[in-house]
Amino acid sequence: MEGQKVFGYIRVSTREQNMDRQRIALEETGIPPERIYMDRQSGKDFDRPQYMEMLKQLEQGSVLYVKSIDRLGRNYSDLTEQWRIITKEKGTDIVVLDMPLLDTRSNKDLLGTFISDIVLTLLSYVAENERANIRQRQAEGIAAARRRGIHFGRPSKPLPDNFASVYQAWKAGAIHTGEAAAQCGMPRSTFCYKAKRYEEK
């Protein structure tokens, strides 16, 4: 690596706390700590502060290391576009430690580039497809839970003791909505929502 600028990129999702595995793998390649950029953010797009800062530093002949391709990104079209920007526009090589075939320093002939592009396309497609499957499984799980009567979100506050009498007066037109809401100690919009639910029950 002597005479060559090397960089590392680490990303974890907001649910994942530990960056150590990626950081240790990158430091073992000899990357200076000040050139390792870390984002704690989803991989759905590349609007990440540390990634954008790193992109500015990349230049012709430098090398970017990542632990695995999904740490760079998970969105198929965005990932392939960023790969093109880094390798073609910036002239920077990319090394994916967990996938030796994705090392643009070697096999720079037409066949090597072709194989690398195929592997990247396949892996980025698999990563995005897995995200889509996770979202679908989550949606199906939530729908199934709701059918079983499980409710999500904050539990509703119980109605105040005077709600029934205030509701009846409001429904009869004896008091207006603002006054009814005030007597129940809630905003107008909340009173209207509660009144509608009360009618349905």
How many residues make up the chain in this entry?
201
Of the candidates 13, 106, 165, 189, the residue annotated as catalytic is 13
Segment holding 197, helix H or strand E? helix 188-200
Q: Which tokens go with 105?
A: 């320093």
Bridge partners, 189 (sequence order)? none
The alpha carbons of the chain give a radius of gyration, in whole angstroms, of 27
Q: 61: which 2 tokens?
A: 């002949």
Q: Is 13 a catalytic residue?
A: yes
Biggest distance spanned by C-alpha atoms of the chain: 85
Q: Which residues fall within 8 angstroms of residue 162, CB to CB, at 6 or more apart? A: 183, 184
List residues with catalytic annotation. 13
